[in-house]
Amino acid sequence: MPLPRYIIVTLALIAPCLRPLAAAPADGDWPTYLGNKERSLYSSLTQISRKNVSQLEVAWTYETGDKGEYQANNLVVNGVLYTPTSKRRIIALNAATGKELWVWNPAKERSGEGHARQRGLVFWESDTGKEKRLFTAVRNDLFALDPKTGTVIRQFGENGSVNLGTGLNTPGVLYKDTLILGGKGGKGSVRALDVRTGEQRWIFHLIPGPGEVGYDTWPKDAYKTATGAMPWCGQSLDEERGIVYIATKTAEPDFYGGKRHGMNLFANCVLALNANTGERLWHYQIVHHDLQDKDLPCPPVLLTVTHEGKKIDAVAQGTKHGLLFVFDRVTGEPLWPIEEKPVPASDLVGEQAWPTQPFPTKPAPLMRQRYTEADASDLSPETHQLTLDRIRASPNFGPFAAPSLRETVMFPGYDGGMEWGGGAADPDGIYYVNINEMPWLMQMVETKHADGTPLVPGERDYKVYCAACHGLEKKGNVIANFPSLIDIGKRKTRAEIELITRQGGGRMPGYATMPEAKRAAIIDYILSEAVAPSASLPRESTPDNVSKAAEPSYAFAGFRRWLDPEGYPAIKPPWGTLNAVDLNTGEIKWKVPLGEYPELTARGIPPTGTENYGGPVVTASGLLFIGATADETFRAFDKDTGNVLWKATLPFSGTAAPSTYMAGGKQYVVISAGGGKSNRPSGGSLVAFALPN
């Protein structure tokens, strides 16, 4: 049974309330994803300071040899740096020199080689120090490795791995000898596994069944077939209290909810669970019945603030629409009132958009919430007129525009606002986060032929499940880095395609729970194998109260950034910012552009900021380190003012959160530079900086 509210509050009152954030250990390791289990990206190291940061130079570099979206926040334990590559290989390096110690390649394991972004690992050590494990995931399999040698620990799970039935791009969090993790595809759940055996200790279903809280926020028996709500962005942990915090994604399909009427708990929620049992303590849904792919993009950040004269242990959750929600982490009460405000209704047949959405009264939005005519690009008179004409034809209706057959400008955009890089927090209660201000285009299409004839089996489901990424015509999306499926049968066998649809691959999540008939029909369509409408493969079932003729059928037309003719975001700058928010008061402390385009600066245009991916690290010496930008630059900011104190050019964009650590008496800052976002070149470089000897 969940703990009663009065017990939770009592525990909060007797817990030490003046303790600082957990930081890197005294020896200067970076042993946990995002620095600590609070996910605060904070380091207590001070050797690199405001006074000497301008002297930073490259200490060593390492080429992984794997190109792709290399987004790893690297671990450093006992002088060894562990990094996962974009092909899911694990590499151990001497943290002081960058010398390779060992490489693990999953190609010979049952998972096979991986091809997907991986943002981190989990390092576990027993209380005695005699047992150590490094956890990584490839496709649907979770592996346990020996951190000394990189060999698979065969006593874990089935011959060294546990099949999760879902992929992972963000690591789990450790509580004692339990690994708590989510996933990125299939039915939503949070699971806890024994670190020694891989045995499941508890599971929390994010799509509730009968008798469970939230069951009535879905159609009857939706739990049998519904998918989504997976907590792909990671978890945070209050270790002293034994509470794990979960941020969840959208229910599926992302843009049409006609078959999932209701609020859809626990999609788009912050959840507090008992880390021992998985029982729900409290939750707050940040988007009701999501129709805009506003999955919570970053893990909750735990910090301590002074609120109305009292020390409060809080949890801060960022969103794609640039809003920051802050709660008492024990009770779930918001620190400032949250208002439900009306949002646009849907004009799609069968859709029931939720009439209101929550907006915090503090902090203020960290980005513009509407694209108006005043926001038309001002790079040139020609660009200004073109963007003005487009916004008049395809107006923006704020962050919760209901999907429609009519094209609209989606702003805030699909990639944020805030994104998976998340925010950093220091013991003073200041939260630091980078923001995107990119416009995108949103449009739905009817999944019927122009002459009204029905689609062949597989065509409709392709448009619902696949077209958002691979395009309605199977041509892919070069800008968003989604591959074409045209002539896919010449590049892969049917068996290989079936495996990818189950396990996932690249940026694609797995659909392990999809009915086999539906999967087969989609693959038939992808391979352009003729299937007569009378084929034995069944069509998607229709609710009893909807006739076949009236059955609503819509698909998302695909992710499209709105760029001007020169290739820049079609909106007045800034296009990317770095922000400091005082969560003691709820006030924005400072905001500065993050990134620039030198060619625009040469034209006399002030720094615009760029689209950015990957979070910041804040240190006790007053520095804020961040890559993230599309200009292949790594920067250090003054955390009190937002002034740039140092910058260096990277071989590729540093779309990853940095790590900082001590090795051999010297402080290093290391970042994975893989590029691949914002249509920039991709690679697989690891670059470490330190002060000169």
Kindly state the average pLDDT of the residues 284-297: 97
Tokens of 91: 């590499």
> pLDDT at position 463, please?
76
- Does residue 23 have a pLDDT over 70? no
Say if residue 93's pLDDT is above 90.
yes
Of 449, 481, 477, 446, residue with least CA distance to 464: 446
Q: What is the pTM of this model?
A: 0.88
Question: Is residue 548 over pLDDT 50?
Answer: no
Tokens of 371: 């694209």
CA distance 315 to 325: 8
**CATH number attached to the domain at 444-540+550-556:** 1.10.760.10
507 has a pLDDT exceeding 70: no
Q: Is there a contact between 318 and 422 (Cβ–Cβ < 8 Å)?
A: yes
Q: Locate the domains of the chain by residue range.
A: 444-540+550-556
The confidence score (pLDDT) of residue 580 equals: 99
The mean pLDDT of 82-111, rounded to a whole number, is 97
Instruction: Tell me which of 290-294, 429-433, 560-564, 624-628 is least confident.
Output: 560-564
Closest to 628 (Cα-Cα) out of 586, 660, 674, 585: 674
At 201 the pLDDT is: 98
Tell me what the mean pLDDT of segment 377-400 comes to.
Answer: 95
- What's the pLDDT at 122? 98
With 60 as the cut, is the pLDDT of residue 511 above it? yes
271: left (phi over 0), alpha (psi -120 to 50) or beta: beta
| pLDDT of 87 over the 70 cut | yes
The residue-averaged pLDDT of 281-308 equals: 98
Residue 297 contacts by C-beta under 8 Å, 6 or more apart in sequence? 233, 247, 318, 319, 320, 416, 417, 418, 419, 420, 422
Amino acid at 660: T
Q: Collapsing DSSP states into helix, strand and coil, what is residue 535?
A: coil
Paired tokens of 399: 């962050």
The model's pLDDT over 168-182, given as tens digits with 9 standing for 90+, comes to: 999 999 999 999 999
Which DSSP helix (H) or strand (E) runs through 497? helix 494-503
pLDDT digits (tens, 9 = 90+) for 458-473: 887 787 678 778 887 8
- Higher local confidence (pLDDT), 449 or 118: 118
Q: Give ∠ CA 379-557-677 in degrees, rounded to 5.
A: 50
